[in-house]
Each structure stands twice: as structure tokens, then as C-alpha cells.
Structure 1
Amino acid sequence: MKLRRVVAQNLRRLRRKSSLSQEELADRAGLNRNYIGMIEREENSPTVDALEQISEALGVDPVVLFQDR
């Protein structure tokens, strides 16, 4: 599986598990809601900085975003 898909699926799963909308997650991470949506739809590859911000907003280790499930 491509890494972009793994990150997208993990991001969506973790966001939903936290009961957050894309907008709520984006606000917590200091990112644009459209950017979060584009990552989840595999339309955009997140930067390392964005992954760090997202993982902090979700309260998870960044490595979790890369784990193939």
C-alpha cells in the first residue's frame, strides 16, 4: 500500500475516533480545513511539519500515522 494512502486512512480513523470534524482538527493543528480534507482524500501529501501539527492535535505519536493496518 502506498504511504500516502496509509497516512490518509490513519488520519481519517484517528480523527473520527477523536470525534473531530475536519474543521475542528484543522483549528487544533493550526492548518486549513481544506488541507486536512485533501490529505484524507489522498489529493495532497502532507509536509513533515503538518504531520507533526496533526499528530499533536490528535494526541498521538507521529509514527502512528505511518503504521499500515
Structure 2
Amino acid sequence: MDRNLVLLNQNIARLRRDVRLQAWEIERLIAADIDCASAAQRLTRMQADLVLFVEKRERLMQGELKDV
């Protein structure tokens, strides 16, 4: 497997974990009736980054399939 693909998979796994943790943090803030706007902005940025990484992985994988 290509090193770039391995690194992308690691970043995707890390971001998925971070998204889950951030969502949990938002739920905690809401339950405590605390403003969660900044946490929600961080979550939105993380989700956008995750989409970009997944799209890049898909492009790399399609390139590998063409090479086979």
C-alpha cells in the first residue's frame, strides 16, 4: 500500500475520533446550558477536513486501480 494512502487512513481515523469527541463535548455543553458556538465551529471545520481527506483517499485509490 502506498505510504500516502497509509498516512491518509491514519489522518482519517484520527479525525473521526476527534469528531466523535467534539460532538460529545457539544452534547456536554448543551446539557450544562453553556454556549457551544466555538465547539460547533471546531466540529464543522473538522468535518470539512474529514471530507477532504476522504475525497483525496478515494482519488488515490482510483489511481491505484487504474495502475493494476
Q: What's the TM-score once normalised by structure 2's chain length?
A: 0.36
- Structure number having the greater helix percentage: 2
- Higher Cα Rg, which structure: 2
Q: What's the TM-score once normalised by structure 1's chain length?
A: 0.35
